[in-house]
Copies of this chain bind each other. A is one copy, B any other.
Amino acid sequence: MTSLEKHNRMANAIRFLSMDAVQKANSGHPGLPMGAADVATVLFTKFMRFDPKNPNWPNRDRFVLSAGHGSMLLYSLLYLLGYEDMTLEDLKNFRQLGSKTAGHPEYGHASGIETTTGPLGQGIANAVGMAIAERKLADEFGEGLMDHYTYALCGDGCLMEGISQEAITLAGHLKLSKLILFWDNNSITIDGAVSLADSTDQHARFRAANWHTIDIDGHNPDEVAAAIEEAQKSDKPTMIACKTTIGYGAPKKAGTNKAHGSPLGDEEIAETRKALGWEYAPFELPEDILDAWRVAGLRSTKSRVEWEERLEGTKAEIKAEFNRRFSGALPGSFDRTVQKYKQKLADEKPTLASRKSSQNALEVINGAIPETIGGSADLTGSNNTNTSQTPSITPDDFSGRFIHWGIREHAMAAAMNGIALHGGLIPYSGGFLIFSDYCRTSVRLAALMGIRVIHVWTHDSIGVGEDGPTHEPVEQMASLRAIPNLLMFRPADAMETAECWQLALESQHAPSGIALTRQNLPAVRLDYSEKNLCATGAYDLIPANEAEVTIFASGSEVGLAVEAQKVLDGKGIATRVVSVPCMELFFEQPEDYQKAIIGNSPIKVGVEAAIRMGWDAFIGTDGIFIGMDGYGASGKGSDLFKHFGITAEAIVEAVEKKRA
């Protein structure tokens, strides 16, 4: 058997596992795995560095299947390469409830799935994040410990999505030369030919973004190998355009959109077997080919062992730090640092915009936790996400800890996912809360994956003021709270801001968003408490026995609640104030805690400078809600609060009206 014959048979193993699994599931996408099988075979048998027995080896090369609908490509590879938690049985259960082999690759389902993909374009930006993480950690720990490539495979859909442009311009700017993107250039999308909707010269586009590009026949293994070698040598990120035939090998459907997203059908599969000379039953593999794949799977064992030896040979502190970083654990001293800072805040009781309180907290955090990596989507001075420890990362110097993401919220969020998935770093962003809408898909994916990324979202209400309704969130708190497994924090003052930051950092398996104000807020938490009061999501800020009125509020409106409480109390109306910094954490508390906090005041008031959605869980459907019921307006922030009736006076008035 010539080496080309061997290659073809190895690639065909992917093709038949994929098309047979799709056929058995009666659902799925055979076209991409069949088309990209040659590229994947060359990449994984000759270049990718990984160890199926140690799938989490920190210095492994990363592979991202951005075109996630081609999931059977990845599952086939993992099985063929000998990843132990991907069995033939798993492939047979493709797309069935409870299987590891979901319709799209899901992070955490099996080793070797580096990220969850499916929503197009996301994977490219994840890969950019991984490549950033690699550079940053190489700078910090040296290339002996961190020196790997990040590969991604995308389709035409990924390249049409806007996020791809944000990601590639960022990668080109940052000269991420160890990022190599394969474009599965098959000229077909679901609707038919790409030319129905697009005429972009992708090579020129990538070169305009400071990438190196290479054009190859994606079915010629020698060209694939030569291109990867060339890409590895480039001082820019490289896009390899692999001209492929979707559904390669299927006599009737290859090269058409019929091969994209449906099973080929028994007849076409039988014809494909004939055409490719594959005489084996579904899920049956010739021993020599499986052996060849398994041998390829062990290619990098030596490299991994040598790396382990280098790690062993490193100074004990550095080794311990490296291992801690990749374990995800925070430094042991962190809680003490926070306590000290909280004592200071209790002493000083500062009146500050919470975006500024956040910066102050970050100054402490970034001093205590070296793995945080900050940034902003061109709003550094507004988001206050920079601190004395965070010089900027530049294309030629990754020793900094701050990324100028540019006006690219979407790629920022998706690349942060990639940084978190890579391990060793904790990314936090900076943006306006309103622009969370631009990156919602990536935020959702972080929540679905359960990874620790932290979004700093400032300018969190009509407090934005003059910029007007295009910049004033009213429904964003509700719509972000709606995302399962996303912790949305909205702290009321400097103390709560510090506590929310601590919770976000300690939350290893959920992303967080922290909504912060532009405008000043008085301190409402005046005493030191060792306990993190925000940890229960909602707590008694001002308790009252047999309170007739309970006011629930978050963020900037807690101060109003406290003011109103004083007035009502002065009028002999027993009033209690509950601060609600994080609804998600509250609803994770034991039922009796929830009941106690919600309590049984006859009058319940919710106050948030946002829409009511979500607050009924606290105040009931007959509770009073002081907030917004439509868009904001352009004007001075203080004028807007008055105009929209979100004031202490309005709270008092509403309570008195209800009592009358």
Check A636–B379 contact: CB distance below 8 A. no
Which residues of chain B come closer than 8 Å to A156, judged between CB atoms?
407
Check A202–B191 contact: CB distance below 8 A. no
Could you give, for residues 397-408 of chain A, a 1 whenever the CB lies within 8 Å of some chain B CB and a 0 otherwise?
A: 000000011111
- A438 at the B interface (CB under 8 A): yes
- A172 at the B interface (CB under 8 A): yes
Check A411–B636 contact: CB distance below 8 A. no
A residues 468-514 touching B (CB-CB < 8 Å): 468-471, 474-475, 478-479, 481-485
- A435 at the B interface (CB under 8 A): yes
Compute how far the CA of A437 lies from the CA of B121 in the bound complex, rounded to whole angstroms.
13
- A161 at the B interface (CB under 8 A): yes
A residues 173-225 touching B (CB-CB < 8 Å): 173, 189-191, 196-205, 207-210
Which residues of chain B come closer than 8 Å to A408, judged between CB atoms?
160-162, 197
Which residues of chain B come closer than 8 Å to A466, judged between CB atoms?
25, 27-28, 95, 103
Question: Quick one: which of B157, B200, B405 contacts A378, CB cutoff 8 A?
Answer: B157
Check B448–A631 contact: CB distance below 8 A. yes
The chain B residue with its CB closest to the CB of A395 is B199
Which residues of chain B come closer than 8 Å to A621, judged between CB atoms?
616-617, 620-621
Check B485–A630 contact: CB distance below 8 A. yes
Compute how far the CA of A471 lies from the CA of B69 in the bound complex, rounded to whole angstroms.
10
Compute how far the CA of A128 lies from the CA of B631 in the bound complex, rounded to whole angstroms.
26
Which residues of chain B come closer than 8 Å to A438, judged between CB atoms?
119, 161, 440-441
Which residues of chain B come closer than 8 Å to A570, judged between CB atoms?
none
- A434 at the B interface (CB under 8 A): yes
The count of residues in chain A whose C-beta lies closer than 8 Å to any C-beta of chain B is 108
Check A636–B97 contact: CB distance below 8 A. yes
Check B173–A197 contact: CB distance below 8 A. yes
- A338 at the B interface (CB under 8 A): no
Which residues of chain B come closer than 8 Å to A452, judged between CB atoms?
none
Q: Specify how many copies of this chain sit in the oligomer.
A: 2
Compute how far the CA of A200 lies from the CA of B378 in the bound complex, rounded to whole angstroms.
16
Nearest Cβ on chain B to A168's Cβ, whole angstroms: 9
A residues 387-437 touching B (CB-CB < 8 Å): 392, 395, 404-411, 434-435, 437
Which residues of chain B come closer than 8 Å to A96, judged between CB atoms?
634-636, 639
Which residues of chain B come closer than 8 Å to A444, judged between CB atoms?
437, 475
Could you give, for residues 289-301 of chain A, a 1 whenever the CB lies within 8 Å of some chain B CB and a 0 otherwise?
A: 0000000000000
Which residues of chain B come closer than 8 Å to A35, judged between CB atoms?
none
Nearest Cβ on chain B to A17's Cβ, whole angstroms: 17
- A614 at the B interface (CB under 8 A): yes
A172-B199, A172-B200, A482-B611 known; A118 vs B407 contact (CB < 8 Å): no
- A150 at the B interface (CB under 8 A): no
Question: Quick one: which of B162, B380, B482, B630 contacts A162, CB cutoff 8 A?
Answer: B162
Which residues of chain B come closer than 8 Å to A172, judged between CB atoms?
199-200
Which residues of chain B come closer than 8 Å to A104, judged between CB atoms?
467-468, 470-471, 634
Compute how far the CA of A201 lies from the CA of B207 in the bound complex, rounded to whole angstroms.
8
Nearest Cβ on chain B to A90's Cβ, whole angstroms: 12
Which residues of chain B come closer than 8 Å to A208, judged between CB atoms?
200-205, 208
A379-B190, A470-B104, A613-B481 known; A197 vs B639 contact (CB < 8 Å): no
Nearest Cβ on chain B to A186's Cβ, whole angstroms: 14
Could you give, for residues 604-620 of chain A, a 1 whenever the CB lies within 8 Å of some chain B CB and a 0 otherwise?
A: 00000001011011001
Check B435–A448 contact: CB distance below 8 A. no
Which residues of chain B come closer than 8 Å to A470, judged between CB atoms?
68, 103-104, 106, 116-119, 445, 448
Compute how far the CA of A380 lies from the CA of B392 in the bound complex, rounded to whole angstroms.
45
- A165 at the B interface (CB under 8 A): yes
- A53 at the B interface (CB under 8 A): no
Check A162–B160 contact: CB distance below 8 A. no
- A357 at the B interface (CB under 8 A): no
A residues 434-459 touching B (CB-CB < 8 Å): 434-435, 437-438, 440-441, 444-445, 448
- A643 at the B interface (CB under 8 A): yes
Could you give, for residues 79-119 of chain A, a 1 whenever the CB lies within 8 Å of some chain B CB and a 0 otherwise?
A: 00000000000000001111100111010000000001111
Check B119–A407 contact: CB distance below 8 A. no
Question: Quick one: which of B378, B475, B635, B640 contacts A482, CB cutoff 8 A?
Answer: B475
Which residues of chain B come closer than 8 Å to A441, judged between CB atoms?
435, 437-438
The chain B residue with its CB closest to the CB of A639 is B97
A residues 608-660 touching B (CB-CB < 8 Å): 611, 613-614, 616-617, 620-621, 629-631, 633-636, 639-640, 643
Compute how far the CA of A380 lies from the CA of B634 in the bound complex, rounded to whole angstroms.
40
Nearest Cβ on chain B to A130's Cβ, whole angstroms: 19
The 6 closest A-B pairs by CB, nearest first: A162-B162, A97-B635, A197-B406, A118-B470, A165-B165, A204-B208
Interface residues of A (CB under 8 A from B): 25, 27-28, 68-69, 95-99, 102-104, 106, 116-120, 156-158, 160-166, 169-170, 172-173, 189-191, 196-205, 207-210, 376, 378-382, 392, 395, 404-411, 434-435, 437-438, 440-441, 444-445, 448, 465-471, 474-475, 478-479, 481-485, 611, 613-614, 616-617, 620-621, 629-631, 633-636, 639-640, 643
15 more contacts with CB within 8 A, not counting A97-B635, A97-B640, A448-B470, are A103-B466, A106-B468, A106-B470, A160-B166, A160-B406, A162-B163, A162-B408, A191-B378, A191-B379, A197-B378, A199-B209, A201-B208, A204-B207, A437-B441, A484-B630
> What are 26 A-to-B residue pairs whose CB atoms are below 8 Å?
A96-B635, A96-B639, A106-B634, A117-B470, A119-B437, A120-B407, A160-B166, A165-B165, A169-B199, A172-B199, A190-B378, A191-B381, A191-B404, A196-B392, A202-B208, A203-B208, A437-B440, A437-B444, A438-B440, A445-B470, A448-B470, A478-B478, A479-B479, A479-B482, A484-B629, A617-B621
